[in-house]
Amino acid sequence: MIVEKDKVVSLTYTLRLDQPDGEIVESLNAEAPLTFLFGGGGLLPKFEDNISGLKVGDNFDFNLASADAYGEVKEEAIVNIPLSAFEVNGKVDQNMLSLGNRIPMQDTAGNKLTGIVKEVSDENVKMDFNHPLAGNDLFFQGEITEVRDATDEEMTHGHAHYPGSCEGCNCSGDHDSCEDKGGCC
């Protein structure tokens, strides 16, 4: 069976910045592989393009230019937020505002975002809402460890299911909660 649309794929990989000997950003092994619905929109399109047609046991290594990965750093995604926005019960938790800390937030439209604290002043917190890997070329090296047909339920939900886990599950629609279903959705 080959990696193609509507297959659930598991793979291991090492992600490095820029080149084969660059800084390691992430490494997934056979005990905790990346498992996803191929063509489901959960991964970078160029990543999927590079593994399409592979089969179990095939190795891969490829570069993704920043434009094909998480894009360039956008200056408009670096913003000053009033310090008062971080008050809880009239106080600001200074530990939360440590430089480099990642803070989950929400924009005015209700979209969830994660910002990185870049600078704190008496009045503002400079937050960077770019993806942490924006502006970087990426190098992936890994192996395909499993390919299987997606179940009807996975196809309907648009993602792979993990036995006994809600990881990656949005549990929307007519489901009360993941726990009520004994796992994902």
Q: Which residue has the tokens 């971080």?
A: 86
The string of pLDDT tens digits covering residues 134-164 is: 999 999 999 999 999 999 898 888 888 876 4
The residues near 95 (Cβ < 8 Å, ≥ 6 apart) are none
pLDDT surpasses 90 at 172: no
Q: What are the chain's domains?
A: 7-70+135-180 (3.10.50.40), 75-128 (2.40.10.330)
The string of pLDDT tens digits covering residues 33-64 is: 999 999 988 899 999 999 999 999 999 999 99
For the CA atoms of the chain, what is the radius of gyration?
20
Show the tokens assigned to 17. 């910045």
For the chain, what percent of residues have pLDDT higher than 70? 88
Helix, coil or strand: residue 181:
helix
Q: Are 95 and 85 in contact (CB under 8 A)?
A: no
Show the tokens assigned to 103. 């803070």
The string of pLDDT tens digits covering residues 11-24 is: 999 999 999 999 99
pLDDT surpasses 50 at 167: no
Show the tokens assigned to 140. 């992936």
Q: Which residue has the tokens 């190795």?
A: 59
Which DSSP string corresponds to 130-174? Answer: S-TTTT--EEEEEEEEEEEEPPHHHHHHTS--BTTB-TT----TT
Read off the pTM: 0.77
β partners of residue 59: 143
The string of pLDDT tens digits covering residues 91-124 is: 988 888 999 999 999 888 998 999 999 999 999 9
Q: What's the mean per-residue pLDDT of the chain?
A: 87
Which DSSP string corresponds to 4-63? Answer: -TTEEEEEEEEEEESSTTS-EEEEE-TTS-EEEETTSS-S-HHHHHHHTT-BTT-EEEEE
